Chains A and B, each alone.
Chain A
């Protein structure tokens, strides 16, 4: 028994060493940084230990804006993308003809280069000297006024951001949900049909509970992913996110480290830890809800 567990640890050493150096140590370091006041990265000195970094960050209007943006993004895109993915997956699994073709089409964005995706969004939303963007043409065709989605009002920019995020996360969710739907034993549906169950009741009382673990998985990873949004935002609105009013928490952290106003690892660390606490809390709530609903349903 003892030699066996010793062996087990031995085999784990490479992984533990790797994780220790690249994950645990940096995490620990970030934690320390966030409490060191007035840290100077050039001289590697600081004035004292305390919570000033946190109070600075939490009062910084740019951080508040980033927090607000991130929350809006999360609250809108996670439920919407999950519902949309569920609807599309159910539709996909109920058709017979050309099923593979449709599945491939819905999965294409997942394997498409981000630059190509960015280009598509430019064509859709960007105002250029040559065109107003596809969406604007539609709006104008219905008699509306063109909107500048990239440099225009806040809600327009947020709309583009949400649509983009949903569009990007959709393929993966569809993939997971279609395979979850396919793994439900068809006998359940046959039994329900013999008993004359309406399709809505079958979906609500049988399909949904059966795939609920996968839905919860998608919601949790969706929350985490949306909270960490950054790259996509830069892709659409450029690197000066604070000026665009479209910064996210991760964007704020990055700016504090390397941006034009950067060079403040302590503030960055504090912001990163605030994000960590938020994500941790939300995930814990998710897991609690999941446990309860799986037990009672």
Chain B
């Protein structure tokens, strides 16, 4: 089911009487979610992810705008008529019911000609349970299961009515790191198997990047960027998105453009013909640093860490604004002398992104797109 959000806004009256007015949780959303895809809503806490999800689900009505499921306007339709399944952050499994009763609960709501026989209900429960691989747990109570198992039950309960849209609100946030990894793959598998349009809310960018077909990056009620995870990572449209995606995070410098050259401090990094003179924000991915004895970026060296395949160089630079230290990731076979005080880097253009100082919008320069070309070629040949 294709979902379209058309100028959707949600405003709450401000609790603080002194301030008055309204608080805009979701601001003028325009978004098309293609059929059968797994979409990640991504953003920091309080940016309006849950609110958006609740509006798609029907638990909240938008203050403005329309929501379409296919050709149907569902803006004012109540949740049960939309054919959505929802998994809550707390799972919301009824603690006094067994797993089977929990999964069967939505089926018990069907009335009239939709009403199912007991056998049919059981068959569907079994089917949903087998999808999430919890057939052996049907007799248990939620309190007798691990977090990951409860999460699967919650998904099974959301799937049992074969919804057209599956909504997941931070379904992994209660799990430990390991279980998160396996469970997110599980969600991916279930989504592929069922082909249900799925919207997945998370504030963990890695989670969204790894399983989603498309991600929607949000900040303070606004959509900042929509796209395939790799595209958004490579080509952030603004500083917020570039900073939000990637671990370790992107390194942001106060920089300047003078006569078509990019300067950090007094050192010239590379040519950026066509970019107007003036201050600019330069953001460099950790993999954008090349250790080079003649490199222009002179940094204080703090630490060299070996992390399996990669080496991480921790360094300092006075113009760095995003954190206290630079984190550069380099190949482990590159030698870095860790006994000296300074390290010099050259920057990779395709891993360096420029942004306007005032607006935070992307400033393009020639030669920045090489990576994608290179990747396309690689994809085509492999």
> Residues of A at under 8 Å CB distance from B?
185, 187-188, 190-198, 201, 205-206, 209-210, 294, 297
Query: Provided the pairs A206-B94, A210-B96 are in contact, do residues A196 and B79 lie with their beta carbons within 8 angstroms?
Result: yes
- State whether A194 touches B85 (Cβ < 8 A): yes
Residue ID in chain B nearest A198 by CB atoms = B109
Residue ID in chain A nearest B54 by CB atoms = A190
Q: List chain A residues, Cβ under 8 A from B106.
A: 195-197
B88-110 residues with Cβ-Cβ distance < 8 A to A are 88-90, 92, 94-96, 105-106, 108-109
- State whether A190 touches B92 (Cβ < 8 A): yes
8 residue pairs, one from A and one from B, having the closest CB atoms: A196-B80, A195-B106, A187-B92, A191-B92, A209-B96, A194-B79, A187-B88, A194-B86
Q: List chain B residues, Cβ under 8 A from A187.
A: 88-90, 92
- State whether A297 touches B96 (Cβ < 8 A): yes
Q: List chain A residues, Cβ under 8 A from B157.
A: 191
Say how far B318's CB is from chain A's closest CB, in angstroms: 49
- State whether A205 touches B84 (Cβ < 8 A): no
B61-97 residues with Cβ-Cβ distance < 8 A to A are 78-81, 84-86, 88-90, 92, 94-96
Query: Provided the pairs A187-B92, A188-B92, A206-B94 are in contact, do residues A193 and B59 lie with their beta carbons within 8 angstroms?
Result: yes
The interface bits of chain B over 259-293 (1 if a CB of A lies within 8 angstroms of the residue's CB, else 0) are 00000000000000000000000000000000000
- State whether B86 touches A191 (Cβ < 8 A): yes
Say how far B202's CB is from chain A's closest CB, in angstroms: 17
B30-71 residues with Cβ-Cβ distance < 8 A to A are 57-59
Given A187-B90, A194-B80, A195-B109, 10 more contacts at CB 8 Å? A187-B89, A190-B59, A191-B92, A193-B79, A194-B57, A194-B59, A194-B86, A197-B106, A205-B105, A209-B96
User: How many angstroms between the C-alpha atoms of A192 and B93 in the bound complex?
Assistant: 10
Q: List chain B residues, Cβ under 8 A from A185.
A: 90, 92
Residue ID in chain A nearest B80 by CB atoms = A196
User: How many angstroms between the C-alpha atoms of A201 and B106 in the bound complex?
Assistant: 11
User: How many angstroms between the C-alpha atoms of A185 and B80 in the bound complex?
Assistant: 20
Determine if B161 is an interface residue (Cβ-Cβ < 8 Å): yes
User: How many angstroms between the C-alpha atoms of A192 and B58 in the bound complex?
Assistant: 13
- State whether B94 touches A188 (Cβ < 8 A): yes
Q: List chain A residues, Cβ under 8 A from B79.
A: 193-194, 196
Say how far B101's CB is from chain A's closest CB, in angstroms: 9
Residue ID in chain B nearest A187 by CB atoms = B92
Say how far A26's CB is from chain B's closest CB, in angstroms: 42
Say how far B378's CB is from chain A's closest CB, in angstroms: 44
User: How many angstroms between the C-alpha atoms of A150 and B60 in the bound complex?
Assistant: 56
Q: List chain A residues, Cβ under 8 A from B81.
A: 196
User: How many angstroms between the C-alpha atoms of A195 and B78 in the bound complex?
Assistant: 10
- State whether A191 touches B88 (Cβ < 8 A): yes
User: How many angstroms between the C-alpha atoms of A206 and B79 in the bound complex?
Assistant: 18
Residue ID in chain B nearest A195 by CB atoms = B106
- State whether A201 touches B92 (Cβ < 8 A): no
Q: List chain A residues, Cβ under 8 A from B105.
A: 192, 195, 197, 205
Q: List chain A residues, Cβ under 8 A from B95.
A: 210
Q: List chain B residues, Cβ under 8 A from A209.
A: 94, 96
User: How many angstroms between the C-alpha atoms of A193 and B77 in the bound complex?
Assistant: 12
User: How many angstroms between the C-alpha atoms of A210 and B95 in the bound complex?
Assistant: 8
Say how far B374's CB is from chain A's closest CB, in angstroms: 46
User: How many angstroms between the C-alpha atoms of A209 and B95 in the bound complex?
Assistant: 9
Q: List chain A residues, Cβ under 8 A from B96.
A: 209-210, 294, 297
User: How many angstroms between the C-alpha atoms of A185 and B57 in the bound complex?
Assistant: 19
- State whether A190 touches B88 (Cβ < 8 A): yes
Max chain A Cβ within 10 angstroms of own Cβ: one of B89, B94, B96: B96
User: How many angstroms between the C-alpha atoms of A205 and B88 in the bound complex?
Assistant: 19
- State whether A201 touches B80 (Cβ < 8 A): no
User: How many angstroms between the C-alpha atoms of A210 and B88 in the bound complex?
Assistant: 18
Say how far A234's CB is from chain B's closest CB, in angstroms: 43
Q: List chain A residues, Cβ under 8 A from B89.
A: 187
Max chain B Cβ within 10 angstroms of own Cβ: one of A185, A193, A209, A294: A193
Residue ID in chain A nearest B106 by CB atoms = A195
Query: Provided the pairs A209-B96, A297-B96 are in contact, do residues A195 and B80 lie with their beta carbons within 8 angstroms?
Result: yes
Residue ID in chain B nearest A296 by CB atoms = B96
Q: List chain B residues, Cβ under 8 A from A197.
A: 105-106, 109
Say how far A216's CB is from chain B's closest CB, in angstroms: 13
Residue ID in chain B nearest A186 by CB atoms = B92
Say how far A73's CB is from chain B's closest CB, in angstroms: 32
10 A–B pairs (Cβ distance < 8 Å), ordered by A: A185-B90, A187-B88, A190-B92, A193-B78, A194-B59, A194-B85, A195-B161, A196-B81, A197-B106, A209-B96
Q: List chain B residues, Cβ under 8 A from A194.
A: 57-59, 79-80, 84-86
Residue ID in chain B nearest A193 by CB atoms = B79
Say how far B156's CB is from chain A's closest CB, in angstroms: 13
Q: List chain A residues, Cβ under 8 A from B88.
A: 187, 190-191
User: How many angstroms between the C-alpha atoms of A278 and B80 in the bound complex?
Assistant: 50
User: How many angstroms between the C-alpha atoms of A187 and B85 in the bound complex?
Assistant: 14
User: How many angstroms between the C-alpha atoms of A183 and B50 in the bound complex?
Assistant: 21
- State whether B84 touches A201 (Cβ < 8 A): no
User: How many angstroms between the C-alpha atoms of A248 and B381 in the bound complex?
Assistant: 95
Q: List chain B residues, Cβ under 8 A from A190.
A: 59, 86, 88, 92
Residue ID in chain A nearest B81 by CB atoms = A196
